């Protein structure tokens, strides 16, 4: 089956894989073909549903994926964490960031990946507005948490 692999800020790639092959083999193919060196986290999102991480020990078939799918790859280097940023349409993108980085640093990454300007972003976590000077660790934002992005003036 065909898998489209996307990485924030990069062009999409196409791979052919066996849906019954373990996800770790897909990660090996991604590493080999695209020269990624860090740890990989793969995820996918069905329309109207939450993003799901793909376990290395599972298969695409385990997740009910038997036809074309888009998989997001996030390359991380310890001690970075992965956070998902969900926009108003319900789509989320993964970002690798150090827990001691500030919310402002995350906003800059969102802007660099084609999102709204830093000044136009409001980020919320568990219903609370996040202030630019606070770090992710201060706010108890952990690996795989989801942060909501609201465009200023569109709340």
Q: pLDDT tens digits, residue range 26-45?
A: 999 998 888 887 888 999 99
Q: What is the pLDDT of residue 37?
A: 79
For 94-98, what is the mean pLDDT? 94
Q: What is the pLDDT of residue 154?
A: 62
Contacts for 21-27: CB closer than 8 Å, 24+ residues apart: 21/59, 21/60, 22/56, 22/57, 22/58, 22/59, 23/54, 23/55, 23/56, 23/57, 23/58, 23/59, 23/60, 24/56, 24/57, 26/60, 26/71, 27/56
Report if pTM > 0.75.
no
């Amino acid at each position: 089956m065909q898998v489209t692999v996307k990485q924030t800020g990069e062009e999409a790639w196409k791979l052919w894989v066996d849906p019954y092959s373990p996800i770790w083999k897909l990660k090996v193919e991604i590493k080999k073909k695209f020269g990624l060196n860090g740890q990989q986290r793969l995820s996918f999102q069905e329309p109207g549903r939450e993003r799901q991480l793909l376990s290395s020990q599972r298969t695409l078939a385990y997740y009910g994926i038997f036809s074309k799918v888009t998989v997001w790859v996030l390359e991380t280097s310890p001690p970075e964490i992965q956070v998902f940023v969900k926009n108003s349409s319900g789509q989320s993108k993964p970002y690798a960031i150090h827990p001691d980085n500030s919310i402002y640093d995350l906003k800059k990454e969102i802007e660099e990946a084609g999102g709204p300007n830093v000044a136009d972003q409001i980020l919320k976590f568990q219903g609370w507005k996040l202030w630019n000077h606070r770090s992710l660790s201060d706010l108890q934002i952990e690996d795989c948490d989801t942060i909501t992005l609201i465009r200023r003036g569109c709340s």
